[in-house]
Amino acid sequence: MRSNASLAERRSAAIPAGLAKHSDIYIERAENAELWDVEGRRYVDFAAGIAVTNTGHRHPAVVERVKRQLDQFTHTSFQTTPYEDYVSLCERLNALVPGDVPKKTFLVTTGAEAIENAAKIARAVTGRSALIAFSGAFHGRTLLAMTLTGKTVPYKAGFGPLVGDIYHVPFPIAFHGVSVADSLEALQQVFRVQADPSRVGAIFIEPVQGEGGFYPAPVPFLKALRRICDEHGILLIADEIQTGFGRTGKMFAMEHSGVNADIVTMAKGLGGGFPIAAITGRADLMDKIPAGGVGSTFAGNPLACAAAHAVLDVIEKEKLVERAQEIGKRIKARLEPWANGNEFPTIGEVRGLGAMVAIEFVTDRATRAPAADLAKAVTKIALDSGLLVLNCGIRGNGVRLLPPLTIPFDLLDEGLDRLEAAIRQAQGEAR
């Protein structure tokens, strides 16, 4: 008989340790915002496959659309023998991505692949090699994306030499004493001593940092970056891989600021569980890439395109952008009193946009020193109680909440009850 323990043993024997694991539960089935492991145990899902199943696990519309496509064809390679779903999906993304300019899109398979291609485009169309990203950023694990990522362990350590001509600026985080002015001055310092702005092709920014801790980029900061990019002919690239498709209470998180990027990368929530990613940019930029300069054998897989169309239909029909706002309000209404009261002095801050919310744990609120062990204990205790939540943050002291946007509100409340109990237990055990 299969068990979590036996599967963990098989994993250890077959799979390298470098592929990290959050838990030793093995999922047998999933439905909307619930998971069941191979031993029949049920879990409330506050992870959504790391912001992938925004439309819930196995949404009927997604399943039905993919089944129809399965009966037609599963692969031809779009570059060899194209198909309409790829074209129509790119048309939809061109219309959805913010910015009142003509846009063009091409599809790839993963978020890291989208980042790599965005960097290629930036360097090719500007003729400039330097790229700038931010501390705490996560842009992927392939070589250039890993170099853009603003965290050393575990993403970069031991994997050098990294890609050259990439620079990092502190991300503005008021909770940790880094102001917008501090970050902008650090950017100017990069211009002064490392990379003249005339040599910088692009600045990569997550409108809300994902792995880095769910820190929203302040609106004045995004507006300042837009001005600086326009002044120096630098492209502004928005990494919407974790924030896109309704997660933050807008279709794309950049919409909260009114700032438009030149290129937007997206993945995760686009496919509803099927691997697909996209790069959407100004048409005048995208058309400068010569034929064959971008592409991939599996990019825009027909099944994934079908799923993506269904996801976009569901987001519109079920008003999931508005629902993300309501989910976020309900989560914060429950969590913010914990951060402001005396019962949970280890909660330093609750933050986020829409249904993308994090709790930052500290040893005490005066010093705001990170409490990474406590955050890990919370996720473990929560899992043992039947709630799946994930850690985040460059210091490892965040717990992020990413429920599917289709989660029933009674199930959301159940998950928050389990989270509260887990924090109370972890805090008590840490004393």
Domain ranges of the chain: 4-55+319-430, 63-317
Distances (CA, A) of 43 to 56, 185, 417: 14, 46, 13
Contacts of 49 (CB under 8 A, 6+ apart): 268, 273
Q: Are 158 and 172 in contact (CB under 8 A)?
A: no
Q: Are 122 and 201 in contact (CB under 8 A)?
A: yes
Sheet of strand 387-388: strand arrangement: 27-31, 34-37, 42-45, 387-388
Q: b/e for 373-388, b at 16 or more Cβ within 10 A?
A: ebbbbbbbbbbebebb
Q: In the 8-state DSSP scheme, what is residue 360?
A: E
Give the closest residue to 50 by CA, choosing from 15, 89, 22: 22
- H/E segment holding residue 44: strand 42-45
Instruction: Tally Cβ neighbours within 10 Å of residue 356.
Output: 26
Strand partners, 178: 173
Chain mean position to CA 39: 30
Instruction: Tally Cβ neighbours within 10 Å of residue 319.
Output: 14
Residues in the chain: 431
Q: Are 259 and 226 in contact (CB under 8 A)?
A: yes
Strand partners, 107: 278
What pLDDT score was predicted for residue 265?
Answer: 98
3-class DSSP assignment, residue 34: strand
Give CA torsion, residues 245, 387, 2, 60, to 10 deg. -40
Q: Per-residue pLDDT tens, the chain, 431 aa: give them.
A: 789 999 999 999 999 999 988 899 999 999 999 999 999 999 999 999 999 999 999 999 999 999 999 999 999 999 999 999 999 999 999 999 999 999 999 999 999 999 999 999 999 999 999 999 999 999 999 999 999 999 999 999 999 899 999 999 999 999 999 999 999 999 999 999 999 999 999 999 999 999 999 999 999 999 999 999 999 999 999 999 999 999 999 999 999 999 999 999 999 999 999 999 999 999 999 999 999 999 999 999 999 999 999 999 999 999 999 999 999 999 999 999 999 999 999 999 999 999 999 999 999 999 999 999 999 999 999 999 999 999 999 999 999 999 999 999 999 999 999 999 999 999 988 77
Write the single-letter amino acid at 294. Answer: V
What pLDDT score was predicted for residue 57?
Answer: 98
What pLDDT score was predicted for residue 21?
Answer: 86
Cα separation, 275 vs 49, whole angstroms: 12
Cα separation, 192 vs 165, whole angstroms: 15
Q: Using N-to-C axis directions, what is the helix angle for 302-317 and 84-96, rounded to 10°?
A: 40
Angle value at C-alpha 209, between 384 and 241, nearest 5 degrees: 90
Give the closest residue to 139 by CA, choosing from 160, 161, 168: 168
Chain mean position to CA 240: 7
CATH number, span 4-55+319-430: 3.90.1150.10
Contacts of 139 (CB under 8 A, 6+ apart): 111, 112, 115, 133, 145, 146, 148, 149, 204, 206, 239
Write the single-letter amino acid at 133. Answer: A
3-class DSSP assignment, residue 123: helix
Contacts of 378 (CB under 8 A, 6+ apart): 361, 389, 399, 419, 422, 423, 426
Sign of CA dihedral 189, 195, 196, 200: negative
Options 3.20.20.70, 3.40.640.10, 3.50.7.10, 1.10.260.40; which CATH number does 63-317 get?
Answer: 3.40.640.10
What pLDDT score was predicted for residue 431?
Answer: 72
What pLDDT score was predicted for residue 5?
Answer: 94
Dihedrals φ, ψ of 352, to 5°?
A: 140, 175
Cα separation, 344 vs 17, whole angstroms: 35
Sign of CA dihedral 102, 107, 110, 112: negative
Burial of 83 by CB count in 10 Å (0-12 exposed, 13-18 middle, 19+ buried)? middle
